[in-house]
Structure 1
Amino acid sequence: MELQSAGEAFIRPGQVLTDRSALAAVSRWTQAVSEADGVCVVHLAPGVDPCELTAELREQGLRASPNHVLRGQPLFFGGPASRPFPAPQVPHKPGRARSDVVVGLLDTGVAKHPWWSGSDWYARVGPEDADAAEGSQAGHGTFIAGLLTRRAPGVRLRVHRVLDGDGLTDEASVVRTLYRMRERPPQVINLSFGGHTFDDRPPPLLSDAIGALDDTVTVACAGNTGSDRPFWPAALPCVVGVAAVDATQQRRAPYSGYGTWVDACARGDWLTSSYLGTGEYAGYAAWSGTSFATALVSGAIADAARHEPAKKWIRSLLDSEETPQIPDLGVLFPASL
């Protein structure tokens, strides 16, 4: 994927996202337009700066954004969380629990694994949504699927592969996937990826796509930035942003994003879960990152949603003055794996 740096954010060069209302305003700079699933990707003429054009369109009151690049967040460069480590087999039986709750998992896909062998939801995972076989984040989605299914027994996953093997995607791909989910919205969506925007403002089309899923709780990671700079989509008001705490579950993991825009936190260090059965791995790994803290929170919400609407439950928890809070990390969800 071709990238361009813009204000310590990454974008797809020469691309701006808009809705139809802005097409006339950008026509003089447009080389081509691809429209699908609720978003227009405007391919700009050579030499046009997508960030400058976005700022100009927003001044006119139009919905626009550079096509930001987003990345999965298991990585802490230079630290122990920089890759997964092989782990011994983790005993786990899915049991007979059945839940009507559906979690949308947008990630690298999900690979075959004993934990969900024979499950109804995995039988619906087609080749296009299988986990990436190669890349620095291959197995990321499979790892998260294990955390979700253990934290919320009987939950059904709806898998959408939006990240490549290196954990990369762009805003347009995510918006289009979310748009297609409107017909059958899940109760919970797990987004263990994100990124910065060029101007630190909310990305409007991504915000619109998430906000349109009225009864869905969208959960996203706060990023492995070690800073309080807003990380999107976690920092959106309509999203439950999740930071990571260390193994003590009392302190922020040093790599985790934090700030007033974070809503919740869970353990992110050295979690063990399902993984690819290739090379030195026998289907299990230990991995760290805000990606995985996010899965624990998503799983807790999905488990609670068996008895109460997911959105009602999480709003009550986050808004209650009696709920213990960790400054700049939000509500602690204790790990129960």
Structure 2
Amino acid sequence: MDIQSVGASYIRAGQVLTDRSALSAVSRWTQAVSEADGVCVIHLTPGADPREVTAELRDQGLRASPNHVLRGQPLFFGGPASRPFPTPPIGFKPGRARSDVVIGLLDTGVAKHPWWSGSDWYGNLGPDEADAVEGAQAGHGTFVAGLLTRRAPGSRLRVERVLDGDGIGDEATVVRALNRMRERPPHVLNLSFGCHSFDDHPPPLLADAIAALSDTVTVACAGNTASDRPFWPAALPSAVGVAALDTAEEHRAPYSGYGTWVDACARGDWLASSFLDHGEFAGYAAWSGTSFATALVAGAIADAAREMPAKEAARRLLESDEARQIEDLGVLVPAGL
């Protein structure tokens, strides 16, 4: 599927997202329509610009967006931490802790690992939820799952694969996955991916899908953009946007997104977690990125949600008078590993 660059954002070429209410309005640009889980992907006729079609539909009061490309957010560019590195086994034992808290994990999937080999949630995963073993971000979901497991022991993960082995997905796939969650919403939702939008406004279907999970705390990464440009879905009012700090938990990691739309921050540099048992890796890795700071914040909220509703746990964490507040990075959440 072709990807079109639009400034610092990316969209699927020739595609617009909308719902059924806009089908007649968009018919003159429509070559084909694929509909599933409340989302219509309009495949445009040759020459139609997704941005121009989106603008016309929005002028009519309709919900529409180009099909933005979303990417996982480990550290991509430069420096020694821009890829995962093998690391010795980590001395963590899951123990027998049990929690009723469910954490939704939309990512590259989760691979087999000793930390959850006997868990009910992993046993229920199908082949479509397995982590990729090839690609620049193979193991991303497994790494995030390990941080969640250590930060919120006993919590159950509900996994859905929305990113490929290179960490690439799109808005249509993510919104459909979110819409499917409405029947059994998780208490906390970890989204370690995101995008800029073509016009820096929130993508409406993505915003609607997250807002509809009204009892779920959605935690999303601020992106490895080194920029204050809004990064979606982290910048949505209905999401907890998370930036990354250095190993000392003192300063912003140089790659991290920041801004008034960021709600919390946690260590993102050189974290160690579960990984693939593949190639030079024996099930463990060290990696950096806002992806992983996000998992620490999501895990902290899930751990606190053992004793109270998840929304209340998040409110107490973000509004604590005792916690350190950092300008443009929000409240500091200790790694707690």
TM-score range, shorter chain: over 0.9
- What SS does the corresponding residue of 1:276 show, helix, strand or coil? strand
- What SS does the corresponding residue of 2:277 show, helix, strand or coil? coil
In the TM superposition, residue 221 of structure 1 has moved relative to its aligned partner by 0.3
- State whether residues 302 and 310 of structure 2, in contact with CA within 8 Å, keep that contact through their aligned partners in structure 1: yes
Alignment match, 1:120: 120
Instruction: Give the 4+ runs in structure 1 shifted more than 6 A.
Output: none
The number of residues matched between the two structures is: 337
Distance 1:323 1:238 in 2: 22
In the TM superposition, residue 180 of structure 1 has moved relative to its aligned partner by 0.5
- Pairs within 5 Å for 1:82-231: 82-231=82-231
Matching residue's letter, 1:22: A
Matching residue's letter, 2:312: K
- State whether residues 74 and 81 of structure 1, in contact with CA within 8 Å, keep that contact through their aligned partners in structure 2: no
Alignment match, 2:30: 30
Matching residue's letter, 1:42: I
Unaligned runs of 5+ in 2: none
- State whether residues 108 and 162 of structure 1, in contact with CA within 8 Å, keep that contact through their aligned partners in structure 2: yes
- State whether residues 101 and 306 of structure 2, in contact with CA within 8 Å, keep that contact through their aligned partners in structure 1: yes
Distance 2:315 2:53 in 1: 37
Q: Considering only aligned residues, what root-mean-square deviation do their CA atoms show, in Å?
A: 1.0
In the TM superposition, residue 52 of structure 1 has moved relative to its aligned partner by 1.0
Alignment match, 1:256: 256
- Please give the per-residue CA displacement for 1:258-293, whole angstroms capped at 9, x wherever unaligned: 000000000000000000011111100000000000
- State whether residues 69 and 171 of structure 1, in contact with CA within 8 Å, keep that contact through their aligned partners in structure 2: yes
In the TM superposition, residue 82 of structure 1 has moved relative to its aligned partner by 1.4
Alignment match, 2:63: 63
- What SS does the corresponding residue of 1:181 show, helix, strand or coil? helix
- What SS does the corresponding residue of 1:207 show, helix, strand or coil? helix
- State whether residues 324 and 331 of structure 2, in contact with CA within 8 Å, keep that contact through their aligned partners in structure 1: yes
Distance 1:274 1:46 in 2: 45
- What SS does the corresponding residue of 1:12 show, helix, strand or coil? strand
Matching residue's letter, 1:270: W
Given the superposition, is the C-alpha separation of residues 11 and 282 from structure 1 closer, same or farther in structure 2, using an over 3 Å criterion? Answer: same
Distance 2:321 2:242 in 1: 19
Distance 2:320 2:96 in 1: 34
In the TM superposition, residue 59 of structure 1 has moved relative to its aligned partner by 1.4
In the TM superposition, residue 57 of structure 1 has moved relative to its aligned partner by 1.2
In the TM superposition, residue 20 of structure 1 has moved relative to its aligned partner by 1.2
In the TM superposition, residue 210 of structure 1 has moved relative to its aligned partner by 0.5
Distance 2:283 2:324 in 1: 36
- State whether residues 193 and 221 of structure 2, in contact with CA within 8 Å, keep that contact through their aligned partners in structure 1: yes
Alignment match, 1:273: 273
Unaligned runs of 5+ in 1: none
Alignment match, 2:73: 73
Matching residue's letter, 1:245: L
